[in-house]
Amino acid sequence: MRVAVMFSGGKDSTFAVHWAYLHGFEVAILLSVLPVRGDSWMFHRPMVVYTELQAEAMGFRHMLVRVSGVKEREVEELARVLRVVRDEFGVEGIVLGALLSDYQRMRVALVSEELGLKMFVPQWGVNQAEYMRMLAR
């Protein structure tokens, strides 16, 4: 299955890329979202500008998109972007690195369902201490 991975460049989204690859998914693109506002409810802003370099180093296509960062409007903006990604890259699923943000997970789930995309959240709800130990191994 071809997937897009939501990629902020942090450890959790990097793990999500690794998880998708190990589970046989074809990672079509890493999708990074840069909110204009610093107080986005949906997207992690620090260091997102470097995700293109990370994607290049890992050998993946990358798309950086800007959104308003305004609560709920950024969900509509994400839906438009995911529609383009689905249509241009033939993705059938979206992978998230979310651990605890129910706000983010639920909104991406709604958008995914609306667009006919399967959603995968491999680290969802895991014990944070165990997760960190696993990453360190």
Strands 2-6 and 118-120: unpaired
Task: Tell me what pLDDT residue 83 has.
Answer: 97
Task: Tell me what pLDDT residue 23 has.
Answer: 97
DSSP for 2-49?
A: EEEEE--SSHHHHHHHHHHHHTT-EEEEEEEEEESSTT-SS---TTGG
Q: How many CB atoms lie within 10 A of CB 23?
A: 12
Domains of the chain as residue ranges with CATH: 2-136 (3.40.50.620)
Task: Tell me what pLDDT residue 107 has.
Answer: 85
Cα atoms found within 13 Å of the Cα of residue 65, Cβ hemisphere only = 21
What is each CA distance from 71 to 20, 32, 59, in whole angstroms? Answer: 29, 18, 33
Global pTM reads 0.89
**pLDDT in 10s for each residue of the chain, 137 residues:** 999 999 999 888 999 999 999 999 999 999 998 887 666 666 666 788 899 999 999 999 999 988 876 677 888 988 999 999 999 999 999 999 876 667 778 888 999 999 999 999 988 777 778 877 877 77
